[in-house]
C-alpha cells in the first residue's frame, strides 16, 4: 500500500456542526481535512464520519493516525 501525502504535521482543529463529513485519507485534497476527490486513480478512499452534535474535532492532518480520522499524535514521530 502507498503512503499518504502528509498534508500537515498537526491536526486540523475545527468546530463542527452536526452532519456527515468525508475526511481526506490520501492527503492530496485542496480542501483539507476534507475530501475533494483528489484520491481518484489511487488506492485511497475518504472516510465518511457522522458528527452527532456540535463539537470541536481534531482531524488528522498527517494521514498516519491509528485512530482514523482523528488525530492520535502520530505526527510527532514523522
pTM of the predicted protein model: 0.95
pLDDT value at position 46? 98
pLDDT in tens, 13-70: 999 999 999 999 999 999 999 999 999 999 999 999 999 999 999 999 999 999 999 9
Please say whether the beta carbons of 25 and 1 come within 8 A: no
Beta strands in 1-78 (DSSP E): 12-16, 19-23, 47-51, 55-59
Amino acid at each position: 500500500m502507498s503512503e499518504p501525502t502528509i498534508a500537515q504535521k498537526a491536526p486540523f482543529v475545527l468546530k463542527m456542526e452536526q452532519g456527515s463529513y468525508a475526511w481526506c485519507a490520501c492527503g492530496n485534497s485542496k480542501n483539507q481535512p476534507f475530501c475533494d476527490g483528489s484520491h481518484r486513480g489511487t488506492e485511497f478512499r475518504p472516510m465518511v464520519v457522522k458528527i452527532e452534535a456540535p463539537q470541536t474535532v481534531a482531524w488528522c492532518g498527517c494521514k498516519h493516525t491509528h485512530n482514523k480520522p482523528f488525530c492520535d499524535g502520530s505526527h510527532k514521530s514523522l
